[in-house]
Amino acid sequence: MLSNMKVSQLCEESGVSVPSIKFYLREGLLPAGERVSATQAEYGTEHVERLRLIRALIDVGGLSVATAQRVLEAIDSPDLPLSYVFGVAQYAISDTSLYADVPETGPGAAQVAAVIERMGWVVSNENPGRRGAARVLDTYDDLGQQHIAEHLADYAEAAELIARADLAAVAHHTDVADMAETVVVGTVLGDALNASLRRIAQEHVSYQMFPAPRGTETTGSEA
């Protein structure tokens, strides 16, 4: 256990620069150290761990400082219901143009509602995923790629598998603060993990389904 660290040692231990540490302290992302004189404070292991979490949310999860702050506040409030912490984490990573409140004029919203019913999911109207999914489906429609929506049930099936694994990881903990941290870390970084695994699986499946170079299926006999 490390304790009684000056800010320079905290910098060394965490790999985060002194100006960044001071900025996180000022913005409330990092709790204040124990004041030992008018100009000095001391820091412990919990500060090193919090700095790692801050950098993971910002560097790997791509959150802004303001969004990371909102998410950390939720972790720091053990009296909040877990479903609320989920909500905060979901909105945090939904804080992109994708989920912008665009008027839903296309078929996406109805397609999303239909797949939710088919899956038997119980979901509030405020879930940001509804808007995000509807927007992508509307865009497929605009681009003449509406046939992709025929596979929506498969994508939903995969999403439920992922969500069950997500929640199993949360249930690994008994301490509520640990559960909240898994919700946040797993939700924010899990999208990147799932997208990466999709890249890998796509390569495998595409070689299985299209072993020959594209085009040879129709022109091969003329080659």
Q: Minimum CB separation from a copy of itself for residue 35, in Å? A: 28
Select 37 or 96, whichever has its Cβ closest to a copy of itself: 96
Q: What's the CA gap between 89 and 85, in Å, rounded?
A: 6
222 binds a copy of itself (CB under 8 A): no
Among 147, 221, 222, 223, binds a copy of itself (CB under 8 A): 147
Q: How far apart are CA 123 and CA 117, in angstroms?
A: 10
Q: What part of residues 88-127 is at the interface with a copy of itself (CB under 8 A)?
A: 90, 93-94, 96-99, 112, 115-116, 119, 121-124, 127
Residue pair 116/123 in contact (Cβ under 8 Å)? The answer is: yes
Enumerate residues 153-212 that contact a copy of itself by CB under 8 A: 154-172, 174, 176, 179-182, 185-187, 189-207, 209-210
CA distance 43 to 20: 15
**10 or 93: CB nearest a copy of itself:** 93
86, 88, 92, 106: residue in contact with a copy of itself (rule CB under 8 A): 86
Counts of helices then strands in the chain (DSSP H, E): 10, 2
Other beta carbons within 10 Å of 96? 9
